[in-house]
Amino acid sequence: MEEFKKGHPKAASLKTVPLPFPELCAELFDGNTATGNCKWTSAQTTSGVGSHRVQSLMIMDTHYHDTQDDAGTSEPTPEPTSEPTSEPNPNKRAKISKSSINHDDLARDMQKALQVLIKGKEGPTVRECSEKLKLVGLDPVDPIFLAAFHIFGVSSDMREAWMALPEIPEVLRWWIGMTAKSLGLIK
């Protein structure tokens, strides 16, 4: 303990000075235990011992309405709704039944998530980008050639940027080199 205090002199005040936001700390950390370097796990027990400040988790039906974000893509915005309920006893944790989750809503949300993932696959294909890469005239074992294929696989934005470049071999080669360096692919 003394060794820890030497390495972390400000930690000693934690024993004598109250936390600035105890309710927030209780909500964040009650029921969690450090298990190692940057690792946490639940310390929930069935004995009923714990903080009296922990709020019970209430799963509510959520309705989504499509809105436009800054990038112009449609993202769902949750609007939670719940029926008025009596105030739960703060000393007891509420039991959440599995039936409180609407399976149709869950399936719909999963489908929307998959559509977002699939939407990321739109735009120029790697094959289309490789056709333009032929203008540079690189040998297939050239590190710049291999870096280009890696860049094309990073994202549709990278492929779109590549396809927007003028068809000038020197410009294309320079862009591949610059982008590969920024991604740490080459030195």
The token duo for 96 is: 């959440």
What whole-number distance in Å separates Cα of residue 46 and Cα of residue 42? 12
Q: Could you state, in order of their start, the residue ranges of all structural domains in the chain?
A: 61-89+99-119, 126-182
Q: Between 44 and 182, where is the model more confident? A: 182
Nearest to 51 by CA among 86, 87, 13, 23: 23
CA pair distance 178, 133, nearest whole angstrom: 15
Average pLDDT over the chain reads: 71
Share of the chain above pLDDT 70, in %: 50
Write the pLDDT tens digit of every residue in 107-140: 787 777 777 666 656 788 999 999 999 999 999 9
Cα–Cα distance list, 155 to 12, 40, 159, 163 (Å): 48, 32, 7, 13
Give yes or no for a contact between 60 and 78, defined as CB atoms under 8 angstroms apart. no
Share of the chain above pLDDT 90, in %: 29
- Across the range 87-94, mean pLDDT stands at 56
Using one digit for the tens of pLDDT, what is the confidence trace for 137-180? 999 999 999 999 999 998 888 999 999 999 999 999 999 999 99
